[in-house]
Amino acid sequence: MHPLDQFRAFLTLREKGQSEEEIAAAFFVSVAVVKQRLRLASVSPALLDVYAEDGKTLDQLMGFTVNPNHERQEQIWEAIQRSYNKEAYQIRRLLTEGAVRASNKRAQYVSEAYLAAGGPIMRDLFQSDDGGWLQDVALLERLVVEKLACDAEPVRLEGWKWVETACV
C-alpha cells in the first residue's frame, strides 16, 4: 500500500465527520500523526499525483505542507524542476518567502496584537518552525509602527524636544 492511500483514508474519515482523536484510535496512531497525514493529504492534488508516481520524495511532499495555497505549491514545484536543489528545506524557504518568521524581533514585539487582529500564521507540522511565519506583513508593520508610537509617548511627555521612532 502506498503511503498516499493512508493520507487519503484519513481525509475520507475526516470528511465523514470523525475527529482526529477517533481516527487515531481506529488506526492505533497518535493524534499528531493523524494531523500530519491530514496535512499531507491537503497538498495540491497535482503534486499528490506526482508523489503517487514516485516523482517526488515524502520529504519533499512534507515541505509543501507549510503553505496551503495550491497554486503557489505548483509554481514552486515547477521552479525546482529546473533547479539543482530540490531539498525540502528549499521548498519551505520558497513557500515562506514574503512572510516573516515569528522569531523575528518585530513579530515578537507585537505578537499578541497580531494574533488579536486575526493575522494569519503558517505552521510546519513536520519540523520545528519557531512559531511559524506571519503572512500579513502589512498588518505586522502597521502594528509595529503603532506600538512604537505608543511607547514613544512617555518619552515625549518627559520633555524631550525630538523623539523619532523607526522600524528597521
Q: What is the CA radius of gyration of the chain?
A: 21
Cα–Cα distance measured from residue 142 to residue 126, given in angstroms and rounded to the nearest whole number:
31
Cα–Cα distance measured from residue 29 to residue 13, given in angstroms and rounded to the nearest whole number:
14
Closest by CA position to 69, among listed 89, 96, 90: 96
The C-alpha cell at 30 is: 497518535
Closest by CA position to 109, among listed 158, 156, 66, 142: 142
Task: Summarize pLDDT for 39-96 with one digit per residue, the tens.
Answer: 999 999 999 999 999 889 999 999 999 999 999 999 999 999 888 888 999 999 999 9
Identify the residue whose cell numbers are 523623539: 163
0.85 exceeded by pTM: no
Closest by CA position to 139, among listed 164, 107, 103, 165: 107
Task: Summarize pLDDT for 89-133 with one digit per residue, the tens.
Answer: 999 999 999 999 999 999 999 999 999 999 999 988 888 878 899
The C-alpha cell at 97 is: 518567502
pLDDT at residue 1, as a whole number: 66
